[in-house]
Structure 1
Amino acid sequence: MPKLDWGLGPRTITFDETDVSAAEHVDLELADALSAPASAKTPPFPKLCKLDWEYPGPFSLLRSVARTCQDFKEPALDALYYKIDCLSDVFLTLPKEMLMFHEHSFYGFKTQHVSLVPPVAESTWQFLLGYLRRVRVLDLALDPEQLQLDLDVWCYLLEAELCDYLFPNLQTLILKHRVVHSELLPMLCSPHLTSIELHNFFPVSLDDADKDDESTTLTRDVLKIMGLRKVSRFSADVASMGIRSPEIIVEFVDTLASSFDKSLAKAISITQSVEPNHLPRVTLTLDLLEPLFVYSGLTVLTFTVTAYFELDDFDLASISTALPRLQKLCLGGKVGWRDTYYTSFSGIASILRNCPDLRYLEVIVDATVSRNASFAAQTVPEGGYNTHVREIRLADSPIDDEAFAARQLRRMMPRLRSVIEPSIHTDGTSHCGAWTFKWLHAQKFLD
């Protein structure tokens, strides 16, 4: 196993180790050297001036650097707290006598919580801020084994008005579970945010006098965080928003359309992972999506919520004309069509012609022979319309001739290798299974 020659020459430690076991050995050796007392045979390098570290080893190494090398203390701490997945990580930097620990029950899980011992001095807050300002990525999920930040801490910060933002330099916010109450979202949204992913969040008001229903509360709190001009990527799973009327989703889309810098916005995704127990009145139409056309530089547009799909070929052409830089386009209504199927292969052709950089497409289309007879008679360039797309998703798409459908798709996309057709109807439509079987058979003509 290789050894590292510490040397005293230019006080430079450089290694680029590709063998994992050897790299771990080097990491531990370096950590021991950096944390060793000055009297030890191996010097602690208090004036280390250069450290090239290619292998992402254990955090203990960075802690050692922060403790023992004054010149590298700030960079080491920045690296340690650049990304955190638990809010309590920063607060645990406080002395234990300033913290209280207790147990909560959350959806059947026993979780350990930490809160602050009141009163919290201004000096304590300034100490915490020294760590909070280092966080650039916040990736939160519910892990029963993690120590959670108690709600009392949030309430204290709100009442004391110590800060506008808990993480003033945060750039990426990812909420994967109900670990933050929706009313507290604005405290996490610093003006430096460029990417927001809201997968699941908890609709609750901290004010007992607030009698709004959960969906209204959550929608209001999510809309509060808009107006972040630097955001380039926004993603929200609106399952928790309780969409019960067209007005809620329309308001959400309209707010998105006026929230971000038109020249910076690159990706907008609105999805819904959980379907309600009743059929919605929401319909996916061009009017619903049109407000987002102000972001002509979008490379990703995803809109897959529980709704009826009522786009036609003209609508698909309008969307692709307004957003010509799209690389990923996903449009799906999770209850499929009403009675009439409006889109055809002509609509897909419009998207492919208008968006030359497209890599992935998800849409609902009528792929039957009668609906596409006119398209089949049209001439398509020898190289097709797009050579990037290798996989498309055609959920709940009618099909009657597998060979015909595969042939028309291959004419447009010569490199197409996979068609995914999962049945996602929630209204009990019986013919979906037959369509799925035919699309599976159509796949054989693409192999």
Structure 2
Amino acid sequence: MHQLLLISELLELIFEYIDEPATYAQLASVCKDLKEPSLDALYADVRCFPRFLTCMPSDLWCIQNQRFGFKRDVIRDDWDKLYSYAKRVKTVVVEKNNRDIFVADEVAEALLKLSPFPTLFPQLHTLYIYGYEHFEPIHYVLMAPTLRSLYVRDIETSCFLDGAPDLPTLCPLIEYFSCWDNGNLRLPGRMKKMTDTLSRLNCLRSVDCGPLDADVVEHLSGVKHLSSIRAPVIASDSWIGLHVGIPALDDLRLQVDTFETFSQAVWALFTHPLSESHADQPLARLRSVTMNVSQLPGTAPITGPSTSPSLITSALAACVSPENLTTIKLADYWTSTQTTGRFTHADLAPLCVFAHLTSLTIKFQSQPLSLDDAQLADLIVHWPRLTSLHLAKLERPLNLASLIAVLRACPDLRQMELLIKAEPTDVTALLRDPTSSDGIVYDDTTGCSLPCNTYVTWMDMYHATEEPEDAVPFARLLHRILPSLKSCDRSVSSNSDAVSAQEARQWLEHTRRTPNGRAESFRGWRTMFWQLVFALMRGEEDLGVSGDMGTSASTVIRVRDQFRSLLGHVLG
């Protein structure tokens, strides 16, 4: 075997890339040198724990009525056989449902109390527990001291913590802990048990365990490698008035009842005690922040006018370092659709300091975005690194000028949700010289050449008139600025039920001549208009696009596709 394949880290990368259990099994049976690493890869990830136990001698166990049990006493050879596989396991999923087998309690007791090994799973790092109503003996078996990640769902949290009362002692190295259920997470008994648990876990990196109290938040502020907090927060939470000064986080996700609560939470988490001057404090190094406003269990419905969205943005600008923040997601997905205010240019302006943003999402049902073309153009130039932009629920659609401004300011944009209304006059205004010998050439009103984005494939866009004669100039423009566009309005795609340009024109003309035809076929009309535009963009007719502009876009796409094909061939 080549000496490079003796490097364990390289072998791990190779098997991670293969990611095919059948291939692992074949390699283990036909290649002596690769047997051990193949078995390591094959048994590293156990998705059904009861079926994993069938690796033990077949005369030891039986399955009756979906119940895995032992037929005889377990002897040393049985333990050795089990351990030869268990020592390779790194991830286990224990899920209880009506379709799969389950481990009998007496089997779990035997695994827990009779095993001759200090731990059956010396490499176990990640454990998922799903679908159980109570903490069961089988869970104890898997509480290995090496455990780094623990994810618990469905078990009522108090029941789980009652069953594993000394989790910090059983698994002191836990770094990623997620434990919540659909009940009222703010019951005093539940919060006390969670506080007692979290306050003794000193290696935490990520916490997703429902509401936090002041003791937990203060404990987390001193955890050296903390990287992620996810929690519901309400105005009455005890830690809101604190200033704990967490220096850095990779990810903060807060579900809040109001904008003001989010603002107070940010100040509490990232500023130091009030005895220190805020101006002299270092800003928190936060990479990603997500805020969702919704009614939380055990709280009153959100009523009345909302506070100003500027509370959100000004808190982030005041407390978070602009050098680190790359992702902002602000939403109120589960609130009433009744409008209670506006998200304006002034509210967004504080975010202009975050020049390193790569993803910006703002989706408010109750606070629609109120921006015009000039205001968006003023904002977007501050975020040149954006690859994802989602500005949903605009109070009114923006014009093509906004689309041009976004594409020019953010050349690496891959995803864009921005409602654009294309007016025929705006399309015409971009036509520089229709009589040019080089063909149709487009420019903006300042004389600058138009941007060309070859990544965006979907847009929330519509044409103001959607007349058949509008399709050609519109397709020319889109071919120039968005040559990869294949879908709009979420329901119209060039790849599904595509029709030819001729068929689309015939349908549009026939429907237009029919009395009330267009009004009665509104959705169909829009779909067919876009099918015509996409057919033209696919090149079914000569658009007359100039060689220096249109060809460059198609050339970029062709070179990009060739590179991807070559890369796939090399990796394959």
TM-score range, shorter chain: 0.5 to 0.7
Match of 1:440 in 2: 527
Would you say 1:388 and 2:435 are equivalent positions? no
Structure 1, residues 77-125: CA drift from partner, whole Å, max 9, x if none?
x3227x989998699979xxxxxxxxxxxxxx997953878xxxxxx97
**Alpha-carbon shift at residue 214 of structure 1 (Å):** 6.2
**Alpha-carbon shift at residue 128 of structure 1 (Å):** 3.3
Would you say 1:409 and 2:456 are equivalent positions? no
Q: What is the one-letter code of the residue matched to 1:237?
A: N
1:347-426 equivalence runs, <5 A: 347-377=402-432, 378-379=442-443, 385-394=452-461, 399-401=464-466, 403=471, 405-420=474-489
Structure 1, residues 333-383: CA drift from partner, whole Å, max 9, x if none?
35x23xxx6x32122122222222211101123312134432344338999
Separation of aligned partners in 1, 2:372 and 2:415: 19
Q: What secondary structure, in the 3-state scheme, does the structure 2 residue paired with 1:401 have?
A: coil
2:155, 2:181 within 8 Å by CA — same for their partners in 1?
A: no
2:342, 2:370 within 8 Å by CA — same for their partners in 1?
A: no
Separation of aligned partners in 2, 1:183 and 1:156: 14
1:317, 1:350 within 8 Å by CA — same for their partners in 2?
A: yes
Pair 1:291–1:245, CA change in 2 (3 A): farther
- Determine which structure has more spread, i.e. the larger CA radius of gyration: 2
Pair 1:369–1:47, CA change in 2 (3 A): closer
Q: 2:270 aligns with which of 216, 227, 230?
A: 227
Q: 1:297 aligns with which of 356, 360, 363?
A: 356
Q: What secondary structure, in the 3-state scheme, does the structure 2 residue paired with 1:234 have?
A: strand
Separation of aligned partners in 1, 2:212 and 2:422: 44
Q: 1:27 aligns with which of 48, 52, 59?
A: 52
**Alpha-carbon shift at residue 301 of structure 1 (Å):** 0.4
Q: What secondary structure, in the 3-state scheme, does the structure 2 residue paired with 1:276 have?
A: coil
Match of 2:538 in 1: none
Separation of aligned partners in 1, 2:132 and 2:323: 33
Q: What secondary structure, in the 3-state scheme, does the structure 1 residue paired with 2:381 have?
A: helix
Separation of aligned partners in 1, 2:78 and 2:483: 63
**Alpha-carbon shift at residue 389 of structure 1 (Å):** 0.8
Separation of aligned partners in 1, 2:197 and 2:47: 45
**Alpha-carbon shift at residue 410 of structure 1 (Å):** 3.3
Q: What secondary structure, in the 3-state scheme, does the structure 1 residue paired with 2:479 have?
A: helix
Match of 2:370 in 1: 310
Match of 1:236 in 2: 291
Q: What secondary structure, in the 3-state scheme, does the structure 1 residue paired with 2:425 have?
A: coil
Pair 1:89–1:196, CA change in 2 (3 A): farther
1:42-441 equivalence runs, <5 A: 42=78, 44=80, 51-52=87-88, 69-70=117-118, 73=121, 75-76=123-124, 78-80=125-127, 114=159, 127-128=167-168, 130-131=170-171, 133-138=173-178, 140=180, 142=182, 151-155=188-192, 165=199, 168-172=202-206, 180=211, 186=217, 192-195=225-228, 201=232, 203=234, 205=236, 215=258, 218-219=261-262, 222-223=265-266, 226-227=269-270, 229=284, 231-240=286-295, 242=302, 245=305, 247-276=307-336, 278-285=338-345, 287-305=346-364, 306-333=366-393, 336-337=395-396, 343-377=398-432, 378-379=442-443, 385-394=452-461, 399-401=464-466, 403=471, 405-420=474-489, 439-441=526-528
- Please give the root-mean-square deviation of Cα atoms over the aligned residues, in Å: 5.6
Q: What secondary structure, in the 3-state scheme, does the structure 2 residue paired with 1:75 have?
A: coil
Separation of aligned partners in 1, 2:350 and 2:303: 19
1:345, 1:366 within 8 Å by CA — same for their partners in 2?
A: yes
Q: What is the one-letter code of the residue matched to 2:349?
A: E
Deviates more, 1:301-310 or 1:51-60: 51-60
Pair 1:23–1:283, CA change in 2 (3 A): closer
Separation of aligned partners in 2, 1:79 and 1:363: 40
Runs (5+) with no aligned partner, structure 2: 1-21, 30-34, 59-69, 96-101, 141-153, 242-255, 272-283, 297-301, 433-441, 492-519, 536-572
- TM-score, normalising length: structure 1: 0.63
1:84, 1:139 within 8 Å by CA — same for their partners in 2?
A: no
**Alpha-carbon shift at residue 250 of structure 1 (Å):** 1.3
2:399, 2:420 within 8 Å by CA — same for their partners in 1?
A: yes
Q: What secondary structure, in the 3-state scheme, does the structure 1 residue paired with 2:171 have?
A: helix
2:457, 2:485 within 8 Å by CA — same for their partners in 1?
A: yes
Q: What secondary structure, in the 3-state scheme, does the structure 2 residue paired with 1:253 have?
A: helix
Q: What is the one-letter code of the residue matched to 1:28?
A: L
Separation of aligned partners in 1, 2:527 and 2:475: 11
1:196, 1:231 within 8 Å by CA — same for their partners in 2?
A: no
- Larger RCO (CA within 8 A; separation ≥ 6): 1
Match of 1:8 in 2: none
**Alpha-carbon shift at residue 225 of structure 1 (Å):** 6.1
Runs (5+) with no aligned partner, structure 1: 6-10, 95-108, 118-123, 423-432
Separation of aligned partners in 2, 1:254 and 1:195: 22
Q: What is the one-letter code of the residue matched to 1:75?
A: Q
**Alpha-carbon shift at residue 232 of structure 1 (Å):** 2.2
Separation of aligned partners in 1, 2:38 and 2:338: 62
Deviates more, 1:270-279 or 1:43-52: 43-52
Q: How many residues align?
A: 387
**Alpha-carbon shift at residue 276 of structure 1 (Å):** 2.9
Q: What is the one-letter code of the residue matched to 1:154?
A: M
Q: What secondary structure, in the 3-state scheme, does the structure 2 residue paired with 1:366 have?
A: strand
- TM-score, normalising length: structure 2: 0.51
Structure whose residues are more often helix by fraction: 2
2:47, 2:93 within 8 Å by CA — same for their partners in 1?
A: no
Separation of aligned partners in 1, 2:308 and 2:214: 18
Pair 1:288–1:299, CA change in 2 (3 A): same
